[in-house]
Structure 1
Amino acid sequence: MLAVSNTSHPQLIRLTEGRTADRAFGRVAPITVYAVGSEIYGQGETSGTCYQIEFGAVRICRLREDGRRQIVAFHLPGEVFGFEPDDIHHFYAEAVSHTALRSFRQASSGEASLELLKLTMRSMIRAQEHSLLLAGQSSFERVATFLVDMMERQGGVAQVDLPMSRQDMADYLGLTIETVSRTMTKLRSEGVIQLAGMRSIEVLKPAYLQRLCR
């Protein structure tokens, strides 16, 4: 890991939730950069610090009793993660790509508590949507819903970054990597998406892709 200042790194992007996080938490720590696959915090470790992504991406995971990994969330630039209902991390967090984070300690004022509640509710809503995704959709619908979610979280742009691997997508969607790959290939063959790079796609038919989610 490498700590850098806010002004010295050329890849820093504008934060979409910066003001909310600044009000919700106290003193801002120096930015810390994590290499691909680096652990940010471990399952069972003491909590109390929250993180906001400057650039990169983070996956939130849990180890099942059988040793398999379950990915429960991905976080993108500007998003905040790491808060828990108690003082223990019930999941672990890893850098999906080259990732820079700001860390915060929770502030104690009433305004800070309200802002923290807003951030927590956003996370809870996304977790509930993920549960519904796994429970009620076909494999094709799951992949389509995931791509629409990534598109909307990146501002509705046609070119969508997918920093995670196909295996990450499969673990998040409760599918096999073969099923994810077949579905992506089918969407390409139908002209819904096209590859725009190693880890990005261009959505050619966004309205059609959204209809597939229902």
Structure 2
Amino acid sequence: MTLAYAPDAPLATPAIAQVMERLGLRMTFAKDEEIFCQDEEADLLYIVVSGAVRTTRLLSDGRRQVGSFYYPGDLVGLETGDLHRFSAEALCDSTLLVVKRSAVKTFAGDEDLDRALWQATRRELERTQEHLLVLGRKTACEKVASFLMDLAQRDRSEQIALPMGRQDMADYLGLTIETVSRMLTQLQGASVVEFDGCRRFRVTRWDALERLAE
């Protein structure tokens, strides 16, 4: 089955996509299972087929920073250096397509691999810039609203999945879990969003959510 890649996925060259589908091995990972670890050799590439992935980095004082979240169609683990800067774990039961970087280089060629590296670097820079803006210039409510808006724009269904837990959100947004929970309650109380349990929500006031997320 051909993968349906997300519009903003950093996998931008058809040659890379074809190699991944031709040579890649499908692997399943259980919730919270490690996919690769921080400072491990980056000799494998991954595409999320189903589920979701988070990248994390442990700081010197033992705190955890969530770097980003990846969804079906996203390419994970394409580094410009030889080592992974972050660890990656499955947020939920997930399937990934895995292939050796050397195989991609052999079958796609240096030019396509270099192009994919550039595209991945560009996309990760955009992710980092967006993340820095959220961390440095927004209030707690605006941070949570921006996070929910990003998920809503990706999913575009009435009931939007929230594959990560409150602690993941807190570690990504630079907040405490108590603050995240309080902001979600506040947004629901203002009828901006409506939650169906802890892991699914719908946007009831798009204009209000967009204003907070700007």
Give the aligned partner of residue 110 of structure 2.
109
Give the aligned partner of residue 126 of structure 1.
127
Give the aligned partner of residue 67 of structure 2.
72
Corresponding letter in the other structure for 1:168? D
Q: Distance in 2 between matches of 1:50 and 1:124?
A: 19
Correspondence list, 1:33-182, <5 A? 33-104=28-99, 105=101, 106-107=104-105, 108-154=109-155, 156-182=156-182
Stretches of structure 1 lacking an aligned partner (at least 5 in a row): 1-5, 8-12
Contact 2:11/2:120, CA 8 A, preserved across alignment? no
Corresponding letter in the other structure for 1:36? K
Give the aligned partner of residue 10 of structure 1.
none
Q: Distance in 1 between matches of 2:162 and 2:213?
A: 18
**Secondary structure of 1:170's partner?**
helix
**Secondary structure of 2:79's partner?**
coil
Contact 1:192/1:203, CA 8 A, preserved across alignment? yes
Which stretch of structure 1 is more off in the superposition, 61-70 or 108-117? 108-117
More strand by share: 1
Give the aligned partner of residue 3 of structure 1.
none
**Secondary structure of 2:41's partner?**
coil
Shift of 1:196: 2.7
Structure 1 residues 87-126: Cα deviation after superposition (integer angstroms, max 9, x where no partner): 0111100001001000132423313422342233122201
Q: How many residues align?
A: 203
More helix by share: 2
- TM, length-normalised to structure 1: 0.87
The share of aligned pairs that are identical, in percent, is 38
Q: Distance in 1 between matches of 2:201 and 2:182?
A: 15
**Secondary structure of 2:170's partner?**
helix
Q: CA RMSD in A?
A: 2.0
Of 2, 15, 38, 1:23 maps to: 15
- TM, length-normalised to structure 2: 0.87
Shift of 1:83: 1.4
Q: Distance in 1 between matches of 2:32 and 2:13?
A: 25
Q: Distance in 1 between matches of 2:118 and 2:158?
A: 32
